[in-house]
Structure 1
Amino acid sequence: MISFRYIFLFVKVLFGKLIALCRRFGLVLWGFSKLLLLLSAAWLLVAIVVTPTWAPKKLTAPNSMVCGKVSGVVYELPRKYVIYWPEDEGKSSWEPVFINVKKGCGANLASLYMAMSWPEMQPVSYGEATSFRFDGISVAIGPWLHGEAGLRKQLQHYLRETPAALVKASKLNEDLGLNFLEGVDSEFPNRRKGFFWLEAKGRMQYIGYCNWVEPKANYSRCYLKFLIPGGDAIVNVEFLWERLGEWHNLALAVGEFFLNAVRYRVDK
């Protein structure tokens, strides 16, 4: 039988080898930790040197003004009036080549859409401007190549489903200072629509229409169109039916708004 003495010697030798192995493993870990420390220091140094080139550029606030050209006239006005992105003439913002069009005051605008309070003519938020309860005015300006004759043809297009005899019999509404006719919607002949216009000295000056809402048995919103002096740009003003009696004041105020927004004119 194996004596207790031999067992003790075996355990002692085994324990000694384990201690030696642990010491060797500890030395390996110590060396590895020093390597990790060295690599960490090197990475930190690289990060300090390189990070400034990776850092994002300082953000700049967008220009507070919108500038663009409509029919050779450069307009500049506060961005807070503009509720939709201005569209450049000839290219939609959805087209890939849109990035190649002119920017800033050199851009030829196909449309510039704004919203403002009335009669204060102050900018309003997008949420307010797109609300069904919005009681201000929405204004759009764009190029117009057809002059006064084009405005007349536009009215004829509006009235094409309304009986000619009814159109011919229409007279100036003294209270409005406009010809107002309840006719037929040219797009939906089963619906009524209100049309209005003003012709002076043989020239068509203002045209427009008001949409009828059957559930309310009343008109809702009206759309007035007129040409900027010179006839190369057209303005569209949207407002509540209840403000139709103020149409002339609306037209004068909007016309003055754009006149004040003219930055310069470009020779054609």
Structure 2
Amino acid sequence: MYISPIAVFFGFVLIWQFGLQILNVPVFLIPKPTDIFQAAVENLGNLTQSALQTVTESLVGFVMSFVGGVLGAVLMASSKILERSLYPYAIILQTIPIVAIAPIIVIWFGAGLNAIVIIAFIIGFFPMISNTLIGLNSVDHNMLNLFRLYNASKWQTMWKLRLPAALPYMMAGLKISCTLSVVGAIVGEYIAGIGGGSGGLGYAITVAATRLQTAYLFACGLAASLLGIVLFLVIQLISKWILSSWHESEMSVEN
């Protein structure tokens, strides 16, 4: 299962390494994998500190988008009037480019951690609320009729039927939101980042670009990508743990 992607990865790295050597491309234009690795080792302390800062911002924004998205979806699913009134504004919030509203967020919340977390929250909020709402509205009508037959209240139906049925959709939203939260944190650090030693990967990328430290810039970018991959894999494991016993999307296929 993993042999093919691993082989492709190593093949790509070898072509990248020896192709640039053969073509004699300058390091400041495109660094070789060995140059990137060397830059990462030489700046390991700063890179680790920046990555930890970005992880903190991403996780806080991600948790906020999860809680806000689920609560917002539950409220809208409980009332069609609320859904028709509020959901269009969630769509509008998603369609506005985050770089356009980031300066406003900085003005409102100040430069630094608060603004970065808000930006990470905003960019991860819509996938969470959208997927959860679809799941809550996709419950089997026969099951809804059964709950009505037993005089279940609206919140009993929500807690015992609609939320469990929406779990696969929520997991899909989490997989999207967790990676977007990293993107949001990086964008936030570009615009509202903290300077000095407490800056995240976005700030480190900005500094490396201004100094033409291309190899270190690539190292920071790859570190940010790795953070997104790790978060995705964690959510994937949680999804498998929750859904593997009853939902087709995570059940083992028997040949």
Higher strand content, 1 or 2: 1
TM range (shorter): under 0.3
What TM-score, normalized by structure 1, do the two folds share? Answer: 0.20
What TM-score, normalized by structure 2, do the two folds share? Answer: 0.20
Q: Tell which structure's C-alpha radius of gyration is larger.
A: 1
Higher helix content, 1 or 2: 2
Of the two structures, which has the highest relative contact order with CA contacts closer than 8 Å and spacing of 6 or more?
2
